[in-house]
Homo-oligomer: A and B are copies of this chain.
Amino acid sequence: MKQLFVIIIIILCMCFQLVMGQEAKIVEDFRPSTVNQPERKFPQVNSQGRVRASIFAPKANKVQLDLGGVKYDMVKDANGIWTGDSDPQDEGFHYYQLNIDGASVPDPGTLYFYGAGRLGSGIEIPAKDQIFFQLKDVPHGLVSENIYFSKQTNCFRRCFVYTPPDYHKNTKTRYPVLYLQHGSFEDETGWSSQGKANLILDNLIAAKQANPMIIVMDNGYAYKPQNNQGDQKEQLVSVFEEVLITEIIPMIDNKFRTIANRDYRAIAGLSMGANQTMRIMMNHLDIFSQYGGFSGTSNYPDKDVIDVATFLDGKYKDGDALNKKIKLFWLGLGTKEPDPFPKSIGAFRAMLDQQKIKYEYYESPGTAHEWLTWRRCLYQFASKLFR
């Protein structure tokens, strides 16, 4: 019996080695990433989802590829070119950087994306379902940069506004509006750049799977002007809700052909943006009728059971009333998201279930707290909006 057990263990070990050997073997089918600068051959991605970076740094002591929280050592060749590979990455978009002798810098080969509080490099690991956000020969909407002066913050701000393909043709048609927010340490460029919001909507509209809509993407960081002089800093007071309600929405309703009522106004966001927009919607059910929370809810990061009597001033107490008022309450999450997202959103869903509040729930297979989760969320959510 004992002998049999040992034999089984040995066989299991051999199987494990075989699998790990396969895993460690690097498949040489690397191709330039789709978010490289024109004509740039590096970085590259292979069919295993590994990233290969390369940079000319003849006098450097140490060069690393810094991706997904891991720093991979790169190796120098006789010509002074350093090259290195990462472990396999999840499908989708990831921020990364290079580290040259301790300096963290963007990879000169890629386009740049605002995330992690800086403009930096990005890499795209082809997703099996990428057709839904690909650039295709369908009618394309416009993404417009809209600059405005905000009195609430006493500074210039900007939003990007997606108008659907026929907006300029149907000059008498008015359109519903989705206000769509980015996550923490990101900005107003995220959704139309790495988020592909415009291409997702172009594709959905061309396939008649979504109603044409306007999408407004603004910056979720907005603070009261500070009065104090000198070194002592006041605490920053967020006024994004005030900016959105009293400045952005009136401006959009004035500048664009919107249907300016709650039935045709939705709000959604990812991560920090999901938290912000849910609070804003619950405070303004007269303004919004539809909500999408991608990888976030208003109890984040709390994982405890929610006490409806006190949570958000009791705004979820009357489930019946909310079901009558809210036309779409939509939540999404990636199956590989780390703590605290699954439990925080789990606790929130338990509260909704307990209150018998109707909502839709979507899980993005095999993705973490990253943009492929949010692209998929937008794709699913947008197809249900304004129906």
A interface residues (Cβ-Cβ under 8 A, vs B): 37, 55-63, 80, 98, 100-106, 108, 111-112, 118-120, 135, 137, 140, 142-149, 156, 161, 168-169, 171, 192, 255-256
Contact = CB atoms under 8 A, between A and B. Distances in A.
A105 B102 contact: no
Nearest to A172: B171
A336 to B, nearest CB: 29
Given A101-B101, A103-B100, A105-B105, A171 B168 contact: no
B146 A101 contact: no
A59 B60 CA distance: 9
Contacts of A161: 142
A111 B119 contact: yes
Nearest to A112: B112
Contacts of A112: 106, 112, 119
A104 B108 CA distance: 8
B135 A140 contact: no
B142 A101 contact: no
A112 B148 CA distance: 22
B156 A101 contact: no
A256 B168 contact: yes
A147 to B, nearest CB: 4
A100 B105 contact: yes
Contacts of A108: 104-106, 118, 120
Pick from A142, A143, A171 the residue with the most CB of B within 10 Å.
A142
Number of copies: 2
Contacts of A137: 149
B156 A135 contact: yes
B142 A56 contact: no
A29 B289 CA distance: 53
Contacts of A149: 137
A112 B106 CA distance: 11
Contacts of A59: 61-62, 101-102
Interface centre among A145, A161, A192 (most CB of B within 10 A): A145
B101 A57 contact: yes
A15 to B, nearest CB: 42
Contacts of A142: 144-146, 161
A102 B80 contact: yes
Nearest to A156: B135
Contacts of A120: 108
Given A100-B60, A135-B156, A168 B105 contact: no
A35 to B, nearest CB: 11
B57 A100 contact: yes
The 4 closest A-B pairs by CB, nearest first: A57-B103, A59-B101, A60-B101, A144-B144
A103 B56 contact: yes
Contacts of A118: 37, 108
A97 to B, nearest CB: 8
Interface-centre pick from A108, A120, A156, A255 (highest chain B CB count, 10 A): A108
A140 B157 CA distance: 12
A106 to B, nearest CB: 5
Central interface residue in A58, A100, A149, A169, by most chain B CB within 10 Å: A100
Contacts of A58: 101-102
A225 to B, nearest CB: 15
Contacts of A168: 255-256
